[in-house]
């Protein structure tokens, strides 16, 4: 298993993003998936990072990224790093890939001077909520594209220096 930095518009990233969108549609019953506006430029270091975990045969198994956010009308705070597109293909779940990617993203955001990692997930993703809770994330004030939705769950973790 190895984790590589890739562009958000890399073909493997697009493939995994399409898969996670289908999962959102299945879980939430809508037709669009996650409509949060995202662009590849948002994940270019040092303003963000996008990672994919590959197996030994080069098959993409998991993904995740962070992008810089600061105070504004969407409810973010100065110094925020927003976690986006965390996803593990069904066959690779339970192998610790999400934890590995999350730890790498937190370290990178911390190194880039970000002070808090924030994320938005939904009430139909209990596995994600359990993962983030076990990694020290706590509920926080809602922010972002889905801040007005009852099903939205926003969480945050301070990225303190070791």
Q: Is the pTM of this model over 0.75?
A: yes
Measured between alpha carbons, how far is 7 from 122 in angstroms, rounded to an integer?
26
Measured between alpha carbons, how far is 104 from 62 in angstroms, rounded to an integer?
13
pLDDT tens sequence for the chain (162 residues) = 899 999 999 999 999 999 999 999 999 987 778 889 999 999 999 999 999 999 999 999 999 999 999 999 999 999 999 999 999 999 999 999 999 999 999 999 999 999 999 999 999 999 999 999 999 999 999 999 999 999 999 999 999 865
Structural domains of the chain sorted by starting position, each given as residue range(s) with its CATH number in brackets: 2-158 (3.40.630.30)
């Amino acid at each position: 298993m190895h984790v590589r930095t890739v562009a958000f518009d890399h073909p493997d990233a697009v493939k995994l993003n399409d898969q996670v969108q289908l999962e959102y549609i299945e879980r939430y019953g809508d037709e669009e998936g996650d409509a949060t506006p995202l662009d590849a430029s948002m994940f270019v270091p040092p303003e963000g990072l996008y990672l994919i975990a590959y197996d030994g045969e080069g098959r993409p198994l998991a993904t995740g990224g962070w992008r810089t956010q600061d105070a504004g009308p969407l409810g973010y705070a100065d110094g925020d790093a927003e976690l986006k597109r965390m996803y593990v293909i069904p066959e690779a779940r339970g192998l610790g890939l999400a934890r590995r990617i999350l730890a790498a993203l937190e370290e990178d955001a911390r190194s880039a001077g970000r002070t808090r990692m924030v994320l938005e997930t939904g009430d139909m993703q209990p596995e994600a909520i359990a993962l983030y809770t076990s990694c020290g994330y706590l509920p926080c004030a809602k922010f972002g594209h889905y801040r007005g939705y009852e099903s939205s769950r926003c969480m945050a973790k301070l990225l303190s220096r070791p």
